[in-house]
Amino acid sequence: MDTQQLQAFVTVARLGSFSQAAEQLYLTQPAISKRIDKLEQQLTTRLFDRIGRHINLTDAGLVLLPRAQHILATLDDTARELNNLSGKVTGQLRIATSHHIGLHRLPPHLRAFQQHFPQVKLDIQFAESEKIHQGLLEGLWEIGIVTLNPRPHPKLQQQKIWQDAMHFVCAPHHPLAQSDTMSLASLSDYPALLSKPGTFTRELLTQRFDDAHIELQVATSTNNLDTLRMLVSTGMGWSLLPHTLLDQDILSIATNTPTIERNLGCVWHHQRSLSNAAQHFMTHLQT
């Protein structure tokens, strides 16, 4: 059974799309379809039901998926362990990060790492922190640089690199900007522009309001923090944003509640071997 065929199968199953799988694997859509066709011919069974634009796993596909993921993860681990014996820092390093960290935290570390280890080929993908945690469980990436889960999964190991001080913010012309110190109850009188429910950042804020028995008035939810900053600057409402996003277009609101902080750092599957490249990259992040 060809590992490239298994990789194509797992990627299509995860994304539910041949075109998106082709894009992620840097292949054409016909090439992806050809690999799936060959795998189905080898197994003499259909793995996907294709109804219009919808793609669903067949019963056979559901049986194969966890086994295929295990096979690919085992091969990756074996290759990394053998490569690590040489002591060389080479090969491909697959990492995933959030857009915010990728834009505001990683650039200097990426430059330094590439200067020290030009033989390493970096494969960087962007996604929401919560999706990256799930992808690490499935073996999609070697490490994730993300917002850390306050309640980490038992199979994932976390290492804090940065601590983000979160600020309540609003536009200079917003009514909240006129007061010196605001209470959570006062904030709840105005619409909030927040990350989507289920995100680690949203959970930190929701927990603070729940503990005070105060209901949030949410007007808009999006996981792009730069978009939230733009919306706040228009005066649509207040938000909770990291210090790295503060500028002249938004003001930090002083409140009578302790600062909310979120931890950012590295996450990896503790049952899988880290390559020399991954270990050195994590060391660079701490400098």
Q: What is the 3-state secondary structure (H, E, C) of 222-255?
A: CCCHHHHHHHHHCCCCEEEEEHHHCCCCCEECCE
- Six token digits for residue 211: 């503990």
pLDDT of residue 168: 96
The bridge status of strand 48-51 relative to strand 91-97 is unpaired
Mean pLDDT of 86-98: 89
Asked whether residue 76 carries a pLDDT value surpassing 90, the answer given is no
Separation in Å, CA 200 to CA 18, 135, 197, 211, 264:
30, 16, 9, 17, 11
- For residues 155 and 271, the answer to whether their CB atoms sit within 8 Å is yes
Label residue 132 by pLDDT band (50, 70, 90): very high
Of residues 154, 200, 188, 187, the one with CA closest to residue 254: 187
Q: Please, what are the domains in the chain?
A: 1-85 (1.10.10.10), 162-262 (3.40.190.290)
Q: How much of the chain, in percent, has pLDDT values that exceed 90?
A: 77
pLDDT digits (tens, 9 = 90+) for 171-189: 999 999 988 889 999 999 9
- pLDDT score, position 138: 84
Query: Count of H helices and E strands in the chain?
Result: 11, 11
- Span 122-129, average pLDDT: 92
In this prediction, what percent of the chain has a pLDDT beyond 70? 100
pLDDT band at 280, cuts 50/70/90? very high
d(CA 240, CA 129): 17
Contact 27, 60 (CB under 8 A): no
Average pLDDT score, the chain: 92
β 120-126/91-97 pair status: parallel
Q: What is the mean pLDDT of residues 11-29?
A: 90
In this prediction, residue 86 carries a pLDDT of 78
- Quick check: 1 pLDDT over 80? no
How many residues belong to the chain? 287
